[in-house]
Amino acid sequence: MRSPAPALLALSLLVAGPFTAPPAAAQDVAPGTRFQVRPDALPKPYATDAVANSSESVARTDAMRPRVPKGMTATLFATGLSGPRQILVLPDRSILVSEPSAGRISRLVAPNPPARARAMPFLTGLDEPYGMTLRRDALYIADLDGLWRVPYAAGDAKAQAKPQRITPEGAFDGGNGHHSRNVIWDPASDRFFVSIGSRGNIAEETAPRATIQVFAADGSGGRTYASGLRNPIGLALQPGTGRLYTVVNERDGLGNGLVPDYLTAVRENGFYGWPYSYLGQNPQPDLADKQPDLVKAAIVPDLLFESHSAPLDLVFYNGSMFPDWRGDALVTLHGSWNRADPIGYMVVRVPFRDGKPQGGYEALATGFRVNKGDGAAQVWGRPAGIAVLPDGSILVSDDEGGTLWRIAKAAD
């Protein structure tokens, strides 16, 4: 879908039933395009067929790079990584990247620009490591088996000791279903928050699936902090308030326009609907009647993304390079597979005002998709992780092409 910036797309969403072949695909959007998805303008379940329409990977040429607004640049920061996801910028300015498919955490050795960073193994042998967080003198890594502690000193080129698991065996419920295990340390409470997705698409499941878990600093006392979150992945603490936010991949199979993915503040003991309802009290067919009290209590999330956009990560911008963005959230949209008109495949900015999302979002980096015709989206990259560098520029990982991109202000 292409719109001149900054056109506002007020989305009255369409929807789906059994998976069918896709019709014509939408075009890639322009940077600056604005979106707003309204919870009061949702279609009914199965209003359109549910479409299996996965993206197709194409080789990136030198001419293919993210499109960013005028006055900004997107430059290739690193290549040759294996499905890079989360990015952690440490106080000593070291950069770590998780590569779940390789079972590896890599450290980026960044020479002076414009030379590209080199990825060197920092830690190997983990089971799909995903989230990383630093607590005092140790690095903590979440994989399918649990939360692992590794001592860290400024400048360490490699892990200096074997990782030690601090959570009980089975606390993260192993593999199957959604594999991403993200983690963030909350310095105010000295606790870890861990996001764990569901095993399936729409079904009753038990914790820790489809929840955010909370653990003491030593890995003990694990419990459910919030539930009804089908696949929460990105986690961030809002500067100033310390409030926990997440982005969630909602359910598939209900049509093109259902169910919108979302960004939301996470309330302790809050229930967010899955699988019995969605976006508050909208009933899930054949399931809502099983838990009417939970449906009644389901929380409406703070901001909706187009259905099937697949938000993977978020960061609150706190840098100096783009002062107008301070306090806003930046989110990576990995891209759809379950709608006729492919969407996502971009990085977006969510403006905040008075500590809350204003109600819409804006395309920041697009161009990962190259085709404009029918069928599946042809992509050279898919945004995954995001971080703010010490100079205020933005680093984005692309797990399709194995690259990292730096988005910065253009030189005068």
Tell me whether residue 165 is in a domain.
Answer: yes
Integer Cα distance of 333 and 50 in angstroms: 20
Q: Residue 362 corresponds to which amino acid?
A: E
- Please identify every stretch of the chain with a pLDDT value under 50, giving residue numbers as ranges: 1-26
Question: DSSP letter at 167?
Answer: S
Give strand pairing partners of 88: 96
Nearest of 339, 343, 305, 255 to residue 27 by alpha carbon: 343
The predicted structure's pLDDT at residue 109: 86
DSSP 125: -
Q: What is the pLDDT of residue 359?
A: 84
Tell me, what's the pLDDT at 375?
79
DSSP state for residue 116 in the 8-state scheme: P
Residue found under tokens 């997107």: 74
Please check whether residue 272 lies inside any domain of the structure: yes
Residue 2 lies in a domain: no
Other Cβ atoms closer than 10 A to 35: 22
Look at the chain and report how many structural domains it folds into: 1
Q: How high is the pLDDT of residue 165?
A: 99
Distance CA 106, CA 157 (A): 10
- Let me know if residue 242 belongs to a domain: yes
Q: Give the integer Cα–Cα distance in Å for 358 and 36.
A: 10
Q: Which of 393, 364, 309, 307 is nearest to 6 (CA)?
A: 364
CATH of the domain at 305: 2.120.10.30
d(CA 229, CA 18): 24
- Quote helix, strand, coil % in the chain, to nearest 5: 5, 40, 60
Residue 133 lies in a domain: yes
Q: What is the largest CA-CA distance in the chain?
A: 61
Q: Which helix (H) or strand (E) holds 56?
A: strand 56-57
Q: Which long-range contacts (CB under 8 A, 24 or more apart) does 106-113 make?
A: 106/81, 107/157, 107/158, 108/77, 108/78, 108/404, 110/77, 113/75
Domain that holds residue 16: 8-409
Identify whether the C-beta of residue 259 lies closer than 8 Å to the C-beta of residue 56.
no
Is residue 80, in this structure, part of any structural domain at all? yes
According to DSSP, residue 374 is labeled B
- DSSP-assigned letter for residue 366: B
Contact (CB, 8 A) for 243 and 236: no
Edge-first strand listing for the sheet containing 260-265: 232-237, 244-248, 260-265, 303-307
Residue 169 burial class via C-beta count within 10 angstroms: exposed 0-12, middle 13-18, buried 19 and up:
exposed
Contact criterion met (CB below 8 Å) for 35 and 6: no
Q: What is the DSSP track for 61-94?
A: PTT---B--TTEEEEEEE---SS---EEE-TTS-
Identify whether 1 is part of a domain: no
Residue 274 carries which side chain, given as an amino acid letter? W
Query: For the chain, how far is it from start to end, CA to CA, in angstroms?
Result: 32
Q: What is the pTM of this model?
A: 0.93
Please give the DSSP secondary-structure letter assigned to residue 93. S
Cα angle 270, 290, 37 (rounded to 5 degrees) comes to 50
**Structure token pair of residue 371:** 């085709």
Task: Compute the C-alpha angle 354/211/129, nearest 5°.
Answer: 100
User: How many Cβ atoms are within 10 Å of 314's Cβ, its own excluded?
Assistant: 20
Q: Which residues contact 60 (CB under 8 A, 6 or more apart)?
A: 380, 381, 401, 403
Give the number of residues written for the chain: 412
Sheet with 72-78, edge to edge strand ranges: 72-78, 403-409, 394-398, 383-388
Instruction: Please report the pLDDT score of residue 195 as a whole number.
Output: 99
- For residue 3, being part of any structural domain is answered with no
How many angstroms separate the CA atoms of 138 and 207, rounded?
A: 28
